[in-house]
Chains A and B, each alone.
Chain A
Amino acid sequence: MLFFLSFVVFLVGLYCVMTRKNLLKIVMGIVIMEYAVNFFLVLLGYRMGGVAPIVTKGMENAKFVDPLPQAMVLTAIVISIATLAFLVAICVRIYQKYNTFDITEIRKLKG
């Protein structure tokens, strides 16, 4: 059931990317999709009644949750900030050239 909820968040992001006309709204849709994918990956690694995968004294044989998706998500979060900055840089350049964020007016493909 929680998998479906994370997928619904992904669908909202997809809807935002496909229907909005503002470039910044499209960037926000991409960010929402990133959040949904991170949520889904961490959900996959949860173990019922598990504890966080950090060994402390006297807990060497406890029931840990899966550390592998958490490590991958940790890198994915930091990549998402760099790609967001890159997208914003492109949006600012487009605004400087066309004086608008409206994608229906950005049609001239001149360099």
Chain B
Amino acid sequence: MWQIYALAFLMIAGSLVAVHTKYLLSAVISLAVVGLGLCVVFLYLQAPDCAITQIVVEVIALIILIRATGVERDLLEIKGRREVFALVTVILFIIVFAVFAFSALTHLPEFGYPVMRVAEEYVVKGLRETGAANLVTAVLLDFRAYDTLGEATVLFTAILGSIIVLREIGRKKK
């Protein structure tokens, strides 16, 4: 269990570095540290499907953030005058949010003993009814295929949106 704790602290450290570092390229690399730590955490939590998807998606996110935006063009972080009022408001909001969320988190079931009221059925009947040995695929494409259909719709819409935003043909010339 201590490995998951260590990786969680690594993720916190990586995200703090990504927030506060001066160079944008270093921030992107620190973000990759967070994602790869998450991938190893998925392996320790017995979720190999999520681990495979996470590591591949992480690589593509890194390529998009570095190549497509040209991070090396604006190397330095933008320095503005520090607005004290805005900073105080942000910290106050985060404290209030954290207090309510922590009080909600204490009501969750204990780690390692989940409530598996629906999932017990999937685990017991999954192989017999769908024939798929990978129970995650059985849930994804048989028991809850509507979720996958909605996911495909969201993917299609996001890609359509980015192609439309970046189009060159048909825009008004200035």
- Selected contact of B136 from candidates A9, A47, A74, CB within 8 Å: A74
Tell whether A74 pairs with B114 under 8 Å between CB atoms, given A8-B12, A9-B11.
no
A residues in contact with B138, CB < 8 Å = 67
How would residues 92 to 111 of chain A score, 1 for a CB under 8 Å from any chain B CB and 0 otherwise?
11000000111010000000
Cβ–Cβ contact B135 & A7, under 8 A: no
Tell whether A81 pairs with B57 under 8 Å between CB atoms, given A15-B94, A50-B46, A64-B123.
yes
Cβ–Cβ contact B166 & A78, under 8 A: no
The smallest C-beta distance from A94 to any residue of chain B, in angstroms, reads 10
Cβ–Cβ contact A102 & B80, under 8 A: yes
Interface residue total, chain A, C-beta cutoff 8 A: 76
Q: How far is the CA of A77 from the CA of B31 in the complex (A)?
A: 15
Most buried by B among A29, A51, A74, A100: A74
- Chain A interface main SS type: helix
B116 at the interface (CB under 8 A from A): yes
The smallest C-beta distance from A74 to any residue of chain B, in angstroms, reads 6
Tell whether A67 pairs with B111 under 8 Å between CB atoms, given A88-B68, A101-B78.
no
B90 at the interface (CB under 8 A from A): yes
Cβ contacts A to B, 16 pairs, < 8 Å = A9-B15, A14-B97, A15-B90, A28-B18, A35-B34, A48-B113, A52-B47, A53-B46, A65-B47, A67-B139, A74-B53, A79-B154, A81-B57, A82-B162, A88-B162, A92-B68
7 shortest A-B CB distances, which residue pairs?
Answer: A48-B112, A82-B158, A53-B135, A89-B162, A5-B8, A75-B151, A71-B139
B residues whose Cβ falls under 8 Å from a Cβ of A: 4-5, 8-9, 11-12, 15-16, 18-19, 24, 27-28, 31, 34-35, 38, 41-42, 45-50, 53-54, 57, 60-61, 64-65, 68-69, 71, 74, 77-78, 80, 86-87, 90, 93-94, 97-98, 101-102, 105, 108, 111-114, 116, 118-119, 122-123, 126-127, 133-136, 138-140, 144, 147-148, 151, 154-155, 158-159, 161-162, 165-166
